[in-house]
Structure 1
Amino acid sequence: MPPARVFALSSAPFIVASGVRGGLGIRGPVGDGKAWPARGDHPRMPPLEGAPMSNLLIPMTTEDFTPEWVTAALRSNGTLGDGSVTAVEATPVGEGAGFLGSLARLTLTYEGTGADAPATVVAKFPALVEVNRGLAVQYQVYQREARFFNEIKSTITAMPTPEAYYADVEEATGNGVILLEDLDGKLRVGDQLAGASAREAEQLMTQIADLHATWWGRAEEDTISWVPAFDGPVWAMTAQTLPSLWPTYQEERSHLLPPGMADIIERTWEGLIWLGQQLSRGPMTLVHGDYRMDNMFFPPSEGDPITIIDWQLMSRGRGPYDVAYFMSQSIDVELRREHERALVKRYHDGLLAGGVRDYSFDDCFEDYRLACLWCVMYPVAMGGGMAHNERAVQIAAEVSKRSFNTILDLDSVSVLPS
């Protein structure tokens, strides 16, 4: 099997990329230059609830997905039974330089297996560049998604997610691997450039409200108490990192800044820690963290549930964060202006239907305004050095327009303390 290319995976708290659409790419490794622990026979993380019981090493390249490794992984939870994988063909999903990880489609050949074994799976595994891999571990990217599938996925009823055939994290290194259901050809992937329609946005508000209602006020329960909160150390690193990208954005994308926006962004940098604290006021819930069109797969029939992928930025915080992230970046400006209040109301109605109490619509909308300001970090990160292919540049420009106009329309900067 020829060596695989490296390809985009997904986001960090300041990077937005898409595996299915090729990602945003970067200009090179970033970080403090420290070497990350080399691959080896590290101690295993204690088995998580529902986790496969295995001593498998974490694959670091596509060549590590040998027939023997995939056989053991699929047998660990009964997916394969007594059959064996005899051949694995790995092909990249998406294009561009990998940043926080790698994504490959594995086409499997079996011997003696039943008809239920998957013909293909999608493998998510660590970035090949050590510095990038270290950054992903620092932000607990691999841990968050693996533990989501092993511990949290079963609690979510109204938001379909891909089936995970295997998910594991190595305690000593923080590296992780997931074998996921391949959705290619089954569902239509969303397009962040095109944006959501009003009908799609309505359904997505209903689905995210159901997730938030399920975990509303339960953020300290053992099942999710380990998930990073917006006022915790993982997200605090964001406030230290993002301002360094702002000068490049100003130099290369100043034409995207409406009058007064530069001052708003600089005030936001100064207030990021405070904003994180506000987003972590109780009652907190579980938030997806990367709720955008490129992470959504749409069914053939309108109205059927929309499948949501990429849980690497899953966090604990105020529910309207996900609403703000989606509305300020995945909906056309004019469409948002026309439907904004109704969509936030639909979300709030979904919370009430899910049993949430003592949370008024006015409070919900105020949290939404505040979260829209926090989310300005994403277009600045994209335009400030995280985008170098054509689609990435287009997304950076479109998300900048959407985010900046949302903040200006809502006067979100007024939420900051004077």
Structure 2
Amino acid sequence: MASHKPFENFTTEWLTEALRASGYLTHGSVNNIHLQPLSEVLFSAPKIRRLEIEYSKDAVGDIPDKIILKLAPKEKEYFFYARILAVMGNVPAPHCYLAKQSDDKSQALFLLEDLSDTHFQTEWPVPPSLELCETAIDCLSSIHAFWWNDRRLESELRAKVTKGNYWSGRINEAINKLPEFLDFIGDRLSADRKRIYEKVLSSSNRHWMPDSARNARTFLHGDIHFWNFLFPKDPSKQEICIFDWNSWDIGKGTNDLAYMMGLHWYPDLRQRRERSLLRRYHNNLLKKGVSNYSWDDCWLDYRESCIMNLFIPIWQWQRGVSSIVWWSHLERSFLTFAELNLLDLLQAV
């Protein structure tokens, strides 16, 4: 696979060999490939395509007629599908028919299960129903419980964390860009809010930083908003799935939760759902064997994780993410900061 133009070699011959090598096509060949436009793809992202595949009449094997082709930068998602999935067993992720990495490890290609017939995404940016939120929380808590203080986080996974987006890297980038951002934003951000950044960075309490954990570390998705969940159309037959694993990380579980709710929800909805969903998350951890982690521990972790949210819009801004995204995140992060009295935490160690 050419690392600079991975689509160059994506032909019927290439796909035939790939499916044969992975054991899904035991006889016959791929005759034709139809690339679907992004608007028709369940996964709406720039480097993802839906393929409809035509096989020769003599084709034999466990072969899909629809498949998702995804390209991801660097190594992290490849490592997830090639190594981490096997460790976790029953993982709520699309089945991967093929994971292939470029020689220089700058890009990876995946052939993933197309779940568009059995699953759905909710409409961005409208939050899901409470029932769907509970399903998502149950799914995420199972992943966190599985990896809770697992020694393999450090011995096997830690070295790959920086091979792509990771929270410490993103937040440090944002801190470095803060003066430039404040100059850019000018009087569109109040003086009081600008001083909050000063208080956060000058505080002796550094537990809000993504690499800090008072109680435990676990495996994080790293970009776990509700639109990275695929909900089953028939829950009696299918399970919920999570996709876009290119930013997985290691840290306290509430970093995922603060990103899901503290950053993405406005006060009215968050006030009605936040604590009940956090309680559900905490109870699920205990049911799955997590110990020495009280509700007070969980609530404190969550509040400190929400402090980190102040810097996410800055990172998005300096990376060229649309202002439709980062401007709303900026407002919600400050609203959460005020409502949860997070300034009080900066005075505690």
TM superposition score normalised by structure 2: 0.83
Using the TM superposition, give the Cα deviation of residue 325 of structure 1 relative to its aligned residue in structure 2, in angstroms.
1.0
Q: Which residue of 2 aligns with 1:279?
A: 212
Q: Could you tell me whether the CA contact under 8 Å between 1:328 and 1:406 is conserved in 2?
A: yes
What are the superposed Cα offsets for residues 185-211 of structure 1, whole Å, 9 maximum, x if unpaired?
A: 432113341013222222222211111
The 5-angstrom pairing of residues 149-160 of structure 1 reads 149-156=81-88, 160=92
Letter in 2 for 1:106: L
Shift of 1:235: 4.6
Identity percentage over the alignment? 27
Structure 1 pair 254/315, CA: closer, same or farther in 2 (3 Å)? farther
Q: How far off its partner does 1:340 sit?
A: 1.6
The one-letter code sitting in structure 1 at the alignment partner of 2:226 is: M
Corresponding residue to 1:193 among 125, 133, 148: 125
1:337 aligns with 2:271: yes
Does structure 2 conserve the Cα–Cα contact (< 8 Å) formed by 1:67 and 1:86?
Answer: yes
AA paired with 1:124? K
Q: Relative to structure 1, is the Cα distance of residues 278 and 416 closer, same or farther in structure 2, using a 3 angstrom cutoff? A: farther
Distance 2:85 2:30 in 1: 27
Q: What is aligned with 1:292?
A: 225
| Number of residue pairs aligned between Structure 1 and Structure 2 | 338
User: Relative to total residues, which structure has the larger helix share, 1 or 2?
Assistant: 2
Paired position in structure 1 for 2:341: 411
RMSD: 3.3
Alignment map for 1:10-409 (pairs within 5 Å)? 56-58=1-3, 60-93=5-38, 102-111=47-56, 112-114=58-60, 116-126=62-72, 136-137=73-74, 143-156=75-88, 160-170=92-102, 172-220=104-152, 222-228=155-161, 235-243=167-175, 244=177, 247-248=180-181, 251=184, 255=188, 257=189, 260-268=192-200, 275-276=208-209, 279-280=212-213, 283-301=216-234, 305-383=239-317, 386-388=320-322, 393-409=323-339
Q: Which runs of 5+ in 1 are unaligned?
A: 1-55, 127-135, 138-142
Larger RCO (alpha carbons 8 Å, 6+ apart): 1
CA distance in 1, matches of 2:198, 2:337: 13
Closer/same/farther in 2, CA of residues 336 and 155 from structure 1, 3 Å limit: farther
For 1:228 and 1:366, locate their aligned partners in 2 and report how far apart those are by CA, in whole Å. Answer: 25
Q: 1:292 is matched by which residue type in structure 2?
A: H
8 Å CA contact retained: 2:67, 2:112:
yes
Cα 1:158–1:258 change in 2 (3 A) is farther
Verify the 8 A CA contact 1:242 1:377 in the aligned structure 2.
yes
Question: What letter matches 2:312 in structure 1?
Answer: Y
Shift of 1:246: 6.3
Q: Which deviates more from structure 2 when the two are superposed, residues 335-344 or residues 345-354?
A: 335-344
**Cα distance change on mapping 1:384 and 1:260 into 2, 3 Å:** farther
Deviations 1:79-110 (A, max 9, x none): 22223112223344369xxxx97222222221
Q: What's the CA shift string for 1:317-360, capped at 9, x where partnerless? A: 11111111111234342111122222111110010011000011
Distance in 1 of aligned mates of 2:12 and 2:186: 47
CA distance in 2 between counterparts of 1:162 and 1:240 reads: 32
Task: Using the TM superposition, name which of 379-388 and 116-125 deviates more.
Answer: 379-388
Are the counterparts in 2 of residues 152 and 223 from structure 1 also a CA contact under 8 Å?
no
Which region of structure 1 is more displaced relative to structure 2, 203-212 or 148-157?
148-157
1:413 and 1:94 map into 2 onto residues whose CA distance is: 43
Decide whether aligned partners of structure 1 residues 246 and 81 sit closer, same or farther in structure 2, where only a CA change above 3 A counts. Answer: farther
